[in-house]
A and B are shown apart, each in its own frame.
Chain A
Amino acid sequence: MAILVYIEHADGAVKKTSLEAVSYAKALTEKTGEGDVIAIALGSISADALAEAGTAGASSVKHVADENLNAGVIQAHADAVAQVAKSLDAKTLVLAKSSLGDAVAARLAIKLDAALVSNVTELPDLSDGYRVKRSIYTGKAFAVTAVEKENKILAVKKNAIDLATDGAPATVETVDLSLDDALFAAKITATDKAEGDILLPEADIVVSGGRGLKGPENWHMIEDLAKSLGAATGCSKPVSDIGWRPHHEHVGQTGVKVAPTLYVAVGISGAIQHLAGVNSSKYIVVINKDPEAPFFKAADYGIVGDAFDVLPKLKQALEAAK
Chain B
Amino acid sequence: MELKEQTGGSVTVLHVGEADADPTLRKALAIGADDAIRVNAFPKDSLFVAEQIAAIAKQNNYDLILMGRESIDFNGGMVHGMVGELLGLPSISPVMKLDIEGSTAKMAREIEGGKEQLEAQLPLVLGCQEPIAEWKIPNMRGIMSARTKPLQVVEPSSDTVASSVLQYELPPAKGAVKLIDADQVEELVRLLKNEAKVL
CB nearest to A296 among chain B residues = B177
> Chain B contacts of A262 at CB under 8 A?
192, 196, 198-199
CB nearest to B121 among chain A residues = A185
> Chain B contacts of A144 at CB under 8 A?
165-169
Instruction: Choose among A100, A106, A197 the residue that contacts B79 (Cβ–Cβ < 8 A).
Output: A106
Which residues of B (115-136) have their CB < 8 Å from a CB of A? Answer: 115-121, 124, 127, 129-130
Contact assessment for A138 and B75 in the assembled complex, using a CB-CB cutoff below 8 Å: yes
Within the assembled complex, what's the spacing in Å between the Cα atoms of A81 and B118? 22
> Chain A contacts of B50 at CB under 8 A?
110
CB nearest to B113 among chain A residues = A199
> Chain B contacts of A248 at CB under 8 A?
110-115
* B94 located at the interface, meaning its Cβ lies under 8 Å from any Cβ of chain A in the complex: yes
> Chain B contacts of A149 at CB under 8 A?
162-163
Interface size on A, residues (CB 8 A): 89
For residue A276, give the distance in angstroms from its CB to the closest CB of chain B.
9
Which residues of B (49-66) have their CB < 8 Å from a CB of A? Answer: 50
Interface string of A122-156 (1 = CB under 8 A from B): 00000000010101111111111111110000000
> Chain B contacts of A212 at CB under 8 A?
none
* A165 located at the interface, meaning its Cβ lies under 8 Å from any Cβ of chain B in the complex: no
Which residues of A (65-117) have their CB < 8 Å from a CB of B? Answer: 71-72, 74-75, 78, 98-100, 102-107, 109-111, 114-117
Contact assessment for A140 and B111 in the assembled complex, using a CB-CB cutoff below 8 Å: no
> Chain A contacts of B175 at CB under 8 A?
300
Within the assembled complex, what's the spacing in Å between the Cα atoms of A290 and B127? 38
Contact assessment for A301 and B188 in the assembled complex, using a CB-CB cutoff below 8 Å: yes
With A192-B116, A317-B186 in contact, is A118–B199 under 8 Å at CB?
A: no
CB nearest to B179 among chain A residues = A302
Q: How large is the interface on B (under 10, 10 to 19, 20 to 34, 35 or more residues)?
A: 35 or more
Q: Which of B7-15, B21-29, B35-43, B83-91 is found at the contact surface with chain A?
A: B83-91
> Chain A contacts of B189 at CB under 8 A?
314, 317-318, 321
For residue B199, give the distance in angstroms from its CB to the closest CB of chain A.
7
For residue A50, give the distance in angstroms from its CB to the closest CB of chain B.
20
> Chain B contacts of A189 at CB under 8 A?
117-119
> Chain A contacts of B72 at CB under 8 A?
137, 253
* B161 located at the interface, meaning its Cβ lies under 8 Å from any Cβ of chain A in the complex: yes
Within the assembled complex, what's the spacing in Å between the Cα atoms of A131 and B169? 14
Within the assembled complex, what's the spacing in Å between the Cα atoms of A176 and B64? 34
Instruction: Name which of B77, B81, B165 has the most chain A CB atoms within 10 A of its CB.
Output: B81
Contact assessment for A102 and B177 in the assembled complex, using a CB-CB cutoff below 8 Å: no
Contact assessment for A300 and B168 in the assembled complex, using a CB-CB cutoff below 8 Å: no
Within the assembled complex, what's the spacing in Å between the Cα atoms of A139 and B170? 9
With A192-B114, A247-B110 in contact, is A286–B85 under 8 Å at CB?
A: no
* B141 located at the interface, meaning its Cβ lies under 8 Å from any Cβ of chain A in the complex: no
Within the assembled complex, what's the spacing in Å between the Cα atoms of A21 and B21? 38
Contact assessment for B84 and A107 in the assembled complex, using a CB-CB cutoff below 8 Å: yes
Contact assessment for A301 and B180 in the assembled complex, using a CB-CB cutoff below 8 Å: yes
Closest 8 CB pairs of A and B: A106-B81, A305-B182, A193-B114, A115-B162, A106-B78, A110-B85, A186-B120, A107-B85
Residues of A within 8 A of B (CB): 10, 71-72, 74-75, 78, 98-100, 102-107, 109-111, 114-119, 131, 133, 135-149, 185-194, 197, 199-202, 205, 229, 246-248, 253-254, 261-262, 279, 282-283, 285-286, 296-306, 309-310, 313-314, 317-318, 320-321
Known: A106-B84, A189-B118, A193-B115. 19 other contacts (CB 8 A): A72-B116, A106-B77, A106-B79, A107-B85, A109-B78, A110-B85, A115-B162, A116-B162, A136-B74, A144-B165, A144-B168, A148-B162, A186-B92, A248-B111, A296-B177, A300-B178, A304-B179, A314-B185, A321-B189
